[in-house]
Amino acid sequence: FMAMRHDTLKQAGAFDAGMPQWGSEDLELCVRYWLLGYEVWLAPAVTVLHYFRKSNPYHVEWGAVTHNLLRVALLHFNQARMTRVVTALKNDANFAPAMAYAVESDVWLKRAEFAARRVRDDDWLFEKFADSCEV
């Protein structure tokens, strides 16, 4: 569950339309909001119910999941971090088509737009959350 003020949504944007299907869209939104100067808060007391199934009632396109991870890195990370993500994913069976799809998309235009508007860089982000994740 996510909630935000309408003016924040208008200024920072909603889910990235360049991400097909699902996978990492929430990650991208949170990274973008932090880098644009917003704060993202977690409400640990909230309980979200999820209906778990033995199989998905829809087709999961794993290439889209790989693409979306790449897109987060291409949109928001510096060269060194982009390289780390690419290196981590390059042996994935979906890597080549996912990367081709990403670099042929609007990712470079969006990257430039976000870079012009952001008030924090990814070094700040990874420093902020250094205790939360290994990088």
57-70 residue pLDDT tens? 888 888 999 999 99
The confidence band for 135, taking pLDDT boundaries of 50, 70 and 90, is: low
Q: Determine the pLDDT at residue 134.
A: 66
For residue 46, pLDDT beyond 70 = yes
Mean of the per-residue pLDDT values of the chain: 93
Q: Which pLDDT value is given to residue 8?
A: 93
Q: Is residue 54 part of a domain?
A: no
Q: How confident is the model at residue 124 (pLDDT cuts 50, 70, 90)?
A: very high
Evaluate whether residue 72 is within a structural domain.
Answer: yes
Range of the domain at 120: 21-37+61-135
Structural domains of the chain, count:
1
To the question of pTM greater than 0.85 for the whole model, the response is yes
Q: Does 97 reside within a domain?
A: yes
Helix, strand, coil percent content, the chain, rounded in steps of 5: 55, 0, 45
CA–CA separation, 134 vs 89, rounded Å?
A: 17
pLDDT of residue 38: 96
Report yes or no: 68 and 23 within 8 Å, Cβ to Cβ.
Answer: yes
